[in-house]
């Protein structure tokens, strides 16, 4: 289980910094910085720049993303922003608008 959970119905306005995994089911506005995995679940709204070890998005994300390992945009995800990671996957059915930078 993730160490930090922003549950559905919770809104965080500001900056989140952590060394652990983060699961967002609610709303985050501001900035989200994690060293481990970040999961933005279906129904979640994130309006923030996100930095993490890896990122899985199934919800709505507006902001720039930087991940050390990988970014996976799953079906149903809606992402507006630039994505920078060594590996990026975009599943069929994910909406995406922005630049992808895979350190080519």
**Size of residue set near other proteins by CB under 8 A:** 24
- Residue 80 interacts with other proteins (CB under 8 A): yes or no: no
- Residue 69 interacts with other proteins (CB under 8 A): yes or no: no
Burial class (CB in 10 A: 0-12, 13-18, 19+), 80: middle
CA atoms within 13 A on the CB side of 92: 0
Tell me which stretch binds other proteins (CB under 8 A): 21-29, 52-60, 71-79, 80-88.
21-29
Tell me which stretch binds other proteins (CB under 8 A): 17-25, 58-66, 68-76, 79-87.
17-25
Residue 62: closest CA among 78, 76, 74: 78
C-alpha gyration radius of the chain? 12
What number of other Cβ atoms are within 10 A of residue 20's Cβ? Answer: 11
- Residue 17 interacts with other proteins (CB under 8 A): yes or no: yes
Of 23 and 90, CB closest to other proteins? 23
* Contact residues for other proteins, defined by CB under 8 A: 1-22, 26, 30
């Amino acid at each position: 289980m993730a160490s930090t959970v922003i549950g559905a119905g919770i809104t965080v306005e500001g900056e989140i910094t952590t060394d652990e995994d983060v699961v967002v089911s609610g709303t985050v506005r501001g900035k989200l910085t994690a060293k481990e995995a970040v999961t933005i679940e279906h129904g979640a709204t994130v309006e923030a720049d996100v930095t993490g070890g890896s990122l899985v998005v199934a919800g709505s994300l507006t902001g720039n993303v930087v991940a050390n390992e990988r970014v996976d945009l799953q079906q149903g995800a809606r992402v507006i922003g630039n994505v920078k990671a060594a590996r990026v996957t975009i599943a069929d059915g994910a909406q995406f608008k922005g630049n992808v930078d895979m350190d080519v």
